[in-house]
Amino acid sequence: MPLQNVFARFFGSHYTLFIVLTSNLSIFVNGMTMAWSSPVLVKLSMKDDNPLGKPITSQQSDLIGSLLFFSAAAAPLLFMRSSEILGRKQTIVLCLLPSLLGNGILVFARRVELYYLARILNGLTIGPVYGLVQSYLSEIIFSVKKRGPYLAINSPAIQAGILFAYIIGPYVPIAIFNAVIFFLTFLTVILITYGCPESPYFVLKSKDKKASLNILKQLDAKDVEKELMQIEEDLLKETQTSIFAVFKSKENMKPFVMATLLQGLQQFSGIGILMAYSQQIFMSSSEILPSEQCSILVGIIQLLSATTSTITSKKFPRKSLLIVSLLGSGFFDLILGLYFFFAKSLIGFNWIPLVALVLFVIFYNSGLDPIPWIFLGEVFPSHLKSVGTSAVVIINWILFSISTFAFTKFDVYFLFLAYSVSCFLGVFYVKIFLTETKDKTLREIQMELEK
C-alpha cells in the first residue's frame, strides 16, 4: 500500500488539512531562509562567531543579502513547465532540492564565495515555491468555505519561519543555524513526497479517471463524480501555452494584471526590508531593547496577526480587508518615514520605530500578506495556471529584489515615505477595479472575470 494511502486513512476527514499544513512547511522554511540575513549578516560583519574568519565588507554583505532575491526572480522560468510534465507535487519537491543543497553548503562554508553560491541556490527554491504551493492547493481544496482560510495559511507559515529565524539566529553559531534549516527542508521533502497526493487535475490528465477519483475520495470533495466531471470540462479547455500567451488577449491579461498589481502592492508596502534587514533597522534606531529582541517582538506580532488573518479571510470580504490593510500599513510607513527624517532632532522618542513597526505588521498581515496569494491561486483558469502563476511570481521577486536592494542605496526615511504613497494609491485600485472572489467557486470567479 502506498504511504500516501496510509496518511489518508490515518487523518481521515482531516487529510486535506494535513496536506495544506505539510505543503506550507516549505513556506515555513522559506520564511527562515528569507529572514536568515537579518541575524547572520550582523555576525558576518564582526569577528566573533564568524566562520569566514574576518568581517565581510559592505559590498559582500549587499551581495549575500540580495543574491537570494535576484535568483528567486529568475527561478520560476526553470520550473514553469515541470508542473505540467512531472506534476504539481513532484515539482514542489524538485524546487526544494536546490535549497537543500544550498543549506548543506552553508553548514560547512568557510569562504564568502560559497555563501554567494548557497544564496543563489536558496533563491532557486523560494522563487517558484510560493506560487506552486498555492496552485497545487487550489486544485486540492474542494470546499469553497475552506479554500480562503486554507490558502491563507501560507501567511502564518512564512511569519512563523521568520520568527523562528529571529529567535535562534542571533543565539546559536551560524553553522548550527544553517543545519537546522537544512534538517527542516529535508523533513519537508520527505513528508510531501510520501504523505501528499498529486493534484487530481494532473492525475486525470496524465493517468486515468479511476486514479483521480481515488484522490477525490480522500479529499473534501462532497460529490466526487460531479467534481470529476468539472475537472474534465476544465481540462478540455486546456491547451499548451507559453508564458507569452498571458499577454495575447484581454481575457488572459485581466487575471494577470489583477494578480501582479496585488503582488506589487505587497512588495512596495515595506515588508521586504523588514524581513531581510529587521535587526539592522533596529540597530540604527530603537534603544528600548537590544536589536535582536526588537526583531523577535516584531516577529511574534507578525505571527499572531498572520494567524488571525486566516480567520478574518473567512468572515470579511477580501476587498474590505485589503483596503483596511493598505490604509494602516501606509499610515505607519508614513510615521516611520517622518521619524527617520527627523530622528536627529527627536529626543525621547526612540520608542516610535518599535511601536510603528509592530502596528505596521498587524495591518499588513490583516490583508496585504495573505490575500494577494489567495488571488494568485484563484484567478487564473486551468489552462493558464502554470504560465500565469510563473509570470506573476517572476515579477513579484523582481519587485522584492528592487525593494530589498534599495535598502542599502537610499536613506531609510525616503523608502518608508515612498512605501506609504504606494499603499495609499493601492486603496483606490482595490476599491475601484479589484474583483471580489470570496465565497465563489473557481468557475464562478472565471465567469466574473470574463465579463
d(CA 383, CA 374): 18
Q: Which residues, other chains included, contact 350 with Cβ-Cβ below 8 Å and sequence gap of 6+?
A: 285, 286, 287, 288
Q: What is the pLDDT of residues 95-149, one digit of tens each?
A: 999 999 999 999 998 888 999 999 999 999 888 888 788 888 888 877 767 777 7
Q: What is the pLDDT of residues 208-264, one digit of tens each?
A: 777 777 777 777 666 666 666 676 666 666 555 555 666 666 677 888 888 889 988
Determine how many CB atoms are found less than 10 A away from the CB of residue 144. Answer: 13
CATH code, 278: 1.20.1250.20
Query: According to the model, what pLDDT value does residue 47 have?
Result: 80
Q: Is residue 389 part of a domain?
A: yes
- In the chain, the N- to C-terminal Cα span, in Å, equals 47
Q: How many helices (H) and strands (E) does the chain have?
A: 22, 0
Q: Which residues, other chains included, contact 49 with Cβ-Cβ below 8 Å and sequence gap of 6+?
A: 43, 173, 174
Q: Is residue 403 part of a domain?
A: yes
In order, the DSSP letters of 181-205 are HHHHHHHHHHHHHHHSPPPHHHHHH
Per-residue pLDDT band for 192 (boundaries 50, 70, 90) equals: very high
Mean pLDDT (the chain) is 80
Query: 0.85 exceeded by the pTM?
Result: no
d(CA 261, CA 256): 8
Q: Is residue 37 part of a domain?
A: yes
Q: Is residue 221 part of a domain?
A: no
Q: Is residue 210 part of a domain?
A: no
Number of domains present in the structure of the chain: 1
Range of the domain at 353: 3-198+237-449
Q: Are 189 and 97 in contact (CB under 8 A)?
A: yes
Q: What is the pLDDT of residues 273-303, one digit of tens each?
A: 776 555 566 655 555 556 566 667 777 777 7
Q: Is residue 48 part of a domain?
A: yes
Q: Is residue 47 part of a domain?
A: yes
Q: Is residue 211 part of a domain?
A: no
Per-residue pLDDT band for 394 (boundaries 50, 70, 90) equals: confident
DSSP state of 323: H
